[in-house]
Amino acid sequence: MTSRRTRLLIILGALSAFGPLTTDVYLPALPQLAPHFHTTVASVQVTLTACILGLAFGQVLIGPVSDTVGRRRPLLAGLAVFTAASVACALAPTVWALDLGRLVQGLAGAAGLVIARAMVRDLYEGLEAARFFSALGGVISLGPIVAPAIGGLLLLFVTWPGVFIFLAIVGAVLFAAVLFGTSETLPLERRRPAGVRTALVTYRELVTHRRFMGYALSSALAFVALFAYISASSFVYQRVFGVSAQVYALLFAVNGLALLGGNLANARLVATVEPDRLLTLSVRACAVVGVLLALATAARGGPAAVIPLLFAFAATVGFIMPNAVTLALQDEQRRAGSASAMFGLLQFAFGAAVAPVVGIAGASAVPMGVVMGAAGLATAGIHAALCHPRRLRSTR
């Protein structure tokens, strides 16, 4: 791997990690927010939902713009707004102000998610794209591993606003990295006409594209299960299992290693095994592990029963994500930004609905397990119904 490719992988991986970074780094601080704002656990989890909604719908806005004006300008604008919104979150006087700040933070951070995928599709296709997405997934997986650990360590020295100051610093650093470390990847001749009508027509075509929606929905439902865990884990580990914020961060990182391991294994296997075959096997495994996890939590299983299943589940998602995005974007070179946006919208819109649901039962792991099990079954069902095996075109 050349130094230029390595640099691009690191930058795009960091941009793609905006999702887990923005949501996960403050998870250890969630229990602090309810007493600070004199509100309920469910109300505090809305701050997470607001961010996820921003990440979802921000992609819909930014994707078509990047297909029209190029990738770098909207990316730099998004990073600048993200940095400012992070500072606003740190200064929020009420939980409603924090909700608004998190929404703007998500809208701006969406630029990193959608444009990073589009830039990969601009530069690579076929098996080379599959390898890059898998390698990118490995970098992305560091987000769930590192972010909660950073949040837990920060809370040893600062209160929850310090976590958002940290996110502001990250946004500023990435702004500089994009400004000085990347170039435009979408040439003028491949840009699409501007206009709301063009964007709406493009999205309508994508929604009615059976195979694209099959891969996108498979990924989105797997993300629902993963986000159910992300959203509930802080309360399950700290209140149900009784561990400290620092131990929670460590346990969260262990399951993040499973996600990373799945991505790295996929990067190796994709050279010899078709991505669609890997995706088929992984969605089936996701369904099986999800059902076992639902049964374990319903039976009030302890950490020894639940944590290994969470580890196995995360590993299956590590295979699902890179193969699903590779296959979904395979034929979308001229509208990669919009296709990437629709792919991301489904993930984060579905995920946003999960946070309040898994918090309904308070100090219980059952809602988390049931949602993860149902989402795992739905992932396998949608894939079986809408996706058909196909071979990737050879690399350019």
Q: What is the CATH number of the domain that holds 73?
A: 1.20.1250.20
pLDDT at residue 174, as a whole number: 93
pLDDT at residue 355, as a whole number: 64
Q: How far apart are CA 109 and CA 160, in angstroms?
A: 20
With cut-offs at 50, 70 and 90, classify the pLDDT of residue 301.
confident
Q: Is residue 200 part of a domain?
A: yes
135 versus 87: the higher-pLDDT residue is 87
Q: How far apart are CA 170 and CA 238, in angstroms?
A: 27
Residue among 94, 95, 90, 118 nearest 105 (CA):
90
Over range 134-163, report the average pLDDT: 78
Q: Is residue 38 part of a domain?
A: yes
For the chain, percent of residues with pLDDT exceeding 70? 92
Q: How far apart are CA 157 and CA 58, in angstroms?
A: 33
172 versus 196: the higher-pLDDT residue is 172
With cut-offs at 50, 70 and 90, classify the pLDDT of residue 391.
very low
Q: Is residue 95 part of a domain?
A: yes
Is the pLDDT at 89 greater than 70? The verdict is: yes
With cut-offs at 50, 70 and 90, classify the pLDDT of residue 352.
low
Is the pLDDT at 2 greater than 70? The verdict is: no
Q: How far apart are CA 302 and CA 296, in angstroms?
A: 8
Q: Is residue 396 part of a domain?
A: no
Q: How far apart are CA 120 and CA 5, in angstroms?
A: 11
Q: Is residue 164 part of a domain?
A: yes
How many domains, the chain? 1
Q: What are phi and psi of 64, to 5 degrees?
A: -65, -35
Q: Is residue 10 part of a domain?
A: yes
End-to-end CA distance of the chain: 17
With cut-offs at 50, 70 and 90, classify the pLDDT of residue 396.
very low
Please check whether residue 261 is in contact with residue 315, taking contact to mean a CB–CB distance below 8 angstroms. Answer: yes
pLDDT, one tens digit per residue, over 6-62 is 888 888 888 887 777 887 788 788 778 878 887 777 777 788 888 878 888 888 888
Q: Is residue 380 part of a domain?
A: yes
Q: What are phi and psi of 157, to 5 degrees?
A: -120, -25
pLDDT at residue 395, as a whole number: 40
Please check whether residue 42 is in contact with residue 71, taking contact to mean a CB–CB distance below 8 angstroms. Answer: no
Residue among 27, 54, 285 nearest 143 (CA):
27
pLDDT, one tens digit per residue, over 253-293 is 788 788 888 888 888 888 888 888 999 999 999 999 999 99
Q: Is residue 262 part of a domain?
A: yes
pTM for the complete prediction? 0.73
Q: How far apart are CA 165 and CA 171, in angstroms?
A: 10
User: What's the domain range around 271?
Assistant: 3-386
Using CB atoms within 10 A of its CB, is residue 50 exposed (0-12), middle (13-18) or buried (19+)?
A: buried
Please check whether residue 212 is in contact with residue 218, taking contact to mean a CB–CB distance below 8 angstroms. Answer: no
Over range 89-114, report the average pLDDT: 91
Q: Who contacts 209 (Cβ-Cβ below 8 Å, separation ≥6)?
A: none
Residue 118 CB neighbour total at 10 angstroms: 28
